[in-house]
Amino acid sequence: MNQSTGVRCAFHPDAPALTYCSRCGKALCKSCVVRLSSGNYCARCAEQPEAGPAPARPSFMRWVLVGVVLLVLSFLFRALFR
């Protein structure tokens, strides 16, 4: 009855969402949801439920990059204001 409002399926804009994918969080209608023992998933996530959410990428490399950039900048400043 409440078809005018509410969340719609991520794949079917016309269909109301019944649940959300436990992994990617997409809204799923009843024809899209795949029920597994570990929860409700979209078709794509249901194919690889064991993978789990992507592990947080270590920020170490990012900080190394920042350090290199700062080093280059400091050299530039030294060259400019010598």
d(Cα 75, Cα 69) in Å, to the nearest integer?
10
Residue 81, judged by CB atoms within 10 A of its CB (0-12, 13-18, 19+), counts as exposed
Half-sphere exposure of 3 (CA within 13 A, CB side): 5
Among 7, 24, 64, 71, binds Zn ion (CB under 5 A): 24
Q: How far is the CB of 52 from Zn ion (least distance, A)?
A: 12
Only segment of 25-33, 48-56, 58-66, 71-79 that touches Zn ion (CB under 5 A): 25-33
Q: For Zn ion, which is the closer residue by CB, 48 or 74?
A: 48
Beta-carbon contacts of residue 77 (< 8 Å; ≥ 6 apart)? none
Which of positions 27-56 make contact with Zn ion (CB under 5 A)? 29, 32, 42, 45
Q: How far is the CB of 9 from Zn ion (least distance, A)?
A: 3
Check residue 11 for interaction with Zn ion (CB under 5 A). yes
